[in-house]
Amino acid sequence: MDAARQRIDKWLFFARVVKSRSLAAKLAVAGRVRINRDKASQASDLVKPGDVLTITLDRRILVYKVVDAGKRRGPADEARTLYEDMSPPPAPKGEAPANAMPPLRNAGGGRPTKRERRETDKLRGWE
């Protein structure tokens, strides 16, 4: 085996994408990691420098280009040398996309006000 190739679960752990190697293995087996557009089916799938990983986490998508294989889980600065971040910028919170339109409501739609409710009850004779 080439020294530059490494198991995907080890690489994810060394690059500090996940907190433990078992979580990295679960991520790979669940199909949430793609290696050069192909789903990783096992934790033992190998990555090498130049591979592009697409990792789907809870609320974000990470796109990393593998630069080097890790030797240990070191500090965050050391982990950042293992990849080149190519992720799209996250959508700003609280702001709608520029092309999004506000939802349309029919006039008079929605819940009635208290006053309208009392008038309806009076009309039905439920006073």
List the chain pLDDT tens, one digit each, 127 residues: 566 899 999 999 999 999 999 999 999 999 999 999 999 999 999 999 999 999 998 878 999 999 999 999 999 999 999 999 998 887 677 766 666 666 676 776 778 889 988 998 998 887 7
**94 within a domain of the structure (yes/no):** no
pLDDT at 126: 79
**120 within a domain of the structure (yes/no):** no
Read off the pTM: 0.70
Q: Name the domain count of the chain.
A: 1
**35 within a domain of the structure (yes/no):** yes
**43 within a domain of the structure (yes/no):** yes
CA distances from 113 to 11, 39, 72, 119, 127 (A): 58, 53, 63, 10, 16
CA distance 25 to 28: 5
- Cβ(6)–Cβ(64) below 8 Å: no
**103 within a domain of the structure (yes/no):** no
CA distances from 81 to 10, 62, 65 (A): 15, 16, 11
CA distance 21 to 13: 5
pLDDT at 53: 95
Which pairs from 56-59 meet CB under 8 Å and 24+ separation?
A: 56/32, 57/17, 57/32
Domain carrying residue 40: 6-85
**114 within a domain of the structure (yes/no):** no
What 3-state class would DSSP assign to 61? Answer: strand
**72 within a domain of the structure (yes/no):** yes
**122 within a domain of the structure (yes/no):** no
pLDDT at 2: 62
**Residue position matching structure tokens 């506000």:** 102
Residue 12, domain CATH: 3.10.290.10
- Cβ(18)–Cβ(24) below 8 Å: yes
